[in-house]
Structure 1
Amino acid sequence: MLLLNGHLRPTAALSLPNRGFTFGDGFFETLIFAGGRLHFGAHHFARMQAAAAALYLELPKALASAEQLEQGMGHLAAANELTAARVRLHIWRAGGGLYTPETSSVEWLATAAPFVPNEAPIARAAFALGTHAIYSPLSFCKGPQAWLYVRASREREQRGVDELVLLSADGYVAETTSAAIFWVKDKQLYTPALTTGCVAGVHRADLLARASSLGIPAHEVLATPDQLLQAEAVFTANVAGWRLIAQLQEHPYAPEHAAVLTQLLAGR
């Protein structure tokens, strides 16, 4: 079962013209509904509000609050008999038009699949060579720029590594192929600034808030690859969980020496 504009259906036929298909005029969210709740629900809703504002879209009533978002995704998970669901929520502008749209109203589609967490360490990572992050007024949200991550993921496969770290056009650390990147140095937490073109991940937002509540200095920075290699521990974080990086390029990490990381993990 899926949700099309708030209605449960076994299948869906999308009407044409479809601005999401023709112009990428919209965005998407990947959400986890498990344990009877929507993980990072408030952060998802905040990013959806920001993305809608940036694209001059109006969120529908069914998605007008974090509570309604959680209720709808829970309804979808239950309809698919899933206790742990990975939900893909697509939102696109309704109507036609060319570059100038005819309306700010939207259509939306949510689909669900079983969620299987994976927090196994990343054995080998490397810096991407063929793709870099691109900053724009919309790079903070998930949308048509996803082709960057598709391209980077193909490079990862071709190079035979487990993850790639993308750099910005200026050569600063930005993110990985599917997650935010964090590192620990001298009892402080670091992550790339949004100006690198990285996505404003919901787990990223949660970690920064958690660090603040624990009194751990946390910084959003412009960092060079060398600075990442000099860290005590490096890990990725997305809606699906945390993953430690065991080795980047030829440099191994020893995360047991990073007390800050231990605090953050214990606070989950």
Structure 2
Amino acid sequence: MVNFNGALIAENEVQLSTQNRAFKYGDAIFETIKVVNGKVVFLEDHYFRLMASMRMLRMKIPMEFTLEFLQEEIIKVVKELPESSMYRIRLTIYRKDGGLYTPVTNDIDYIIEGSPLEYTDKEVYKIDVFKDFYNYSGLLSTVKTTNRMLNTLAAVFAEENDLDNCILLNERKGVVEAINGNIFIVKGNVVKTPALTEGCIKGIVRKKVIDIVEKHPDYTIEETAISPFKIQKADEVFITNAIIGIQPVTNYRKKEFSTEITNKIKSSLQLAIVTS
């Protein structure tokens, strides 16, 4: 079952017209959200990012779109899914049908879909740089729109080359993010991640990790430009997103990374999930 504008409908009964703007123009945004033991993880952060994205894209925010409303709509879907301790939820919001590049309205429709979530950490996790195309380092790149062609091509490249993930670059050939999350590197006691001005998604777990490191007496956080060469020289590398939390990277080309600091930050993040 999916939640289509508040109504629960079987997946095979959902009908989207040929005028759907998410399909025709990528005129849509989405949030990937984790639910653990009936609790929507980092709900407030997802909600405020969603509201900010809708305002940036000049979508009309319905009056009923409160944080409590969003939580109720997500839980409605969860209750219809097979029993599990964890779920992956995707909320997609798009402008209503009609128009060419100029929409006929800024009103929105939404779909909430979900599935039981099971995953295990990979002991060996290999990455490399995807250099065929670049991610533009503008503000729009920080928003989770449904235009994910670059990520799709990078994922195909990763599969073809027996990789677990790829590093995306911007037009200045600086590191932006991974295919499915933000990226951090550790050198000594300094933890670095690409600044938002590099074009990376304004990730929920990215923000949480930055908060964790800022409060830790032994580490320093830097949001900055990072070259692929600096990844080669790093002690540790890890990837973050709302579903996996933190994924340690073990291999980049011929370089092998340790995971000591990464695992410490990962433990702190788990605690933040439990207490949020």
Q: TM-score, normalised by structure 2?
A: 0.89
Mean alpha-carbon deviation: is it higher for 55-64 or for 167-176? 55-64
2:224 aligned partner, one-letter code? V
State the aligned residue count: 264
Instruction: Kindly provide the CA deviation profile for residues 26-54 of structure 1, in whole angstroms up to 9, marking residues without a partner as x.
Output: 11111111212111212211221121011
Show the counterpart of 1:251.
255
2:69 aligned partner, one-letter code? Q
Alpha carbons of 1:199 and 1:147: their partners in 2 closer, same or farther (altered >3 Å)? Answer: same
Check the 8 A contact 1:51/1:138 in 2, yes or no: no
1:78 aligned partner, one-letter code? K
Cα deviation for residue 182 of structure 1 reads: 0.8
Cα deviation for residue 263 of structure 1 reads: 3.5
Instruction: Kindly provide the CA deviation profile for residues 12-70 of structure 1, in whole angstroms up to 9, marking residues without a partner as x.
Output: 112452222222111111111121211121221122112101110123345322x3322
Show the counterpart of 2:116.
114
Show the counterpart of 1:147.
149
**Counterparts of 1:117 and 1:59, CA distance in 2:** 34
1:50 is paired with a residue of what secondary structure? helix
1:101 is paired with a residue of what secondary structure? coil
Show the counterpart of 1:137.
139
Check the 8 A contact 1:139/1:145 in 2, yes or no: no
Show the counterpart of 1:234.
237
Residues 157-236 of structure 1 mapped to structure 2, 5 A cutoff = 157-215=159-217, 216-236=219-239
Alpha carbons of 1:132 and 1:82: their partners in 2 closer, same or farther (altered >3 Å)? Answer: farther
Mean alpha-carbon deviation: is it higher for 36-45 or for 213-222? 213-222
Q: TM-score, normalised by structure 1?
A: 0.91
Check the 8 A contact 1:165/1:173 in 2, yes or no: yes
Determine which of 42, 45, 52 is the counterpart of 2:47.
45
Show the counterpart of 2:273.
none
1:73 aligned partner, one-letter code? I
2:89 is paired with a residue of what secondary structure? strand
Check the 8 A contact 2:32/2:243 in 1, yes or no: no
Q: Is there any run of 5+ residues in structure 2 with no aligned partner, and where?
A: 271-276
Q: CA RMSD in A?
A: 1.8
Instruction: Kindly provide the CA deviation profile for residues 105-137 of structure 1, in whole angstroms up to 9, marking residues without a partner as x.
Output: 100111111111343244321111223222233
Alpha carbons of 1:122 and 1:199: their partners in 2 closer, same or farther (altered >3 Å)? Answer: farther
Check the 8 A contact 2:139/2:197 in 1, yes or no: no
2:214 aligned partner, one-letter code? S
Q: After the TM superposition, which segments of 4 or more aligned residues of structure 1 sit over 6 Å from their partners?
A: none
Cα deviation for residue 99 of structure 1 reads: 1.8
**Counterparts of 1:172 and 1:266, CA distance in 2:** 29
Cα deviation for residue 262 of structure 1 reads: 4.4
Determine which of 66, 84, 92 is the counterpart of 2:94.
92
1:128 is paired with a residue of what secondary structure? strand
Q: Percent identity?
A: 25
1:189 is paired with a residue of what secondary structure? strand
Q: Is there any run of 5+ residues in structure 1 with no aligned partner, and where?
A: none
**Counterparts of 1:266 and 1:160, CA distance in 2:** 29
Check the 8 A contact 1:62/1:69 in 2, yes or no: no
Alpha carbons of 1:248 and 1:68: their partners in 2 closer, same or farther (altered >3 Å)? Answer: same
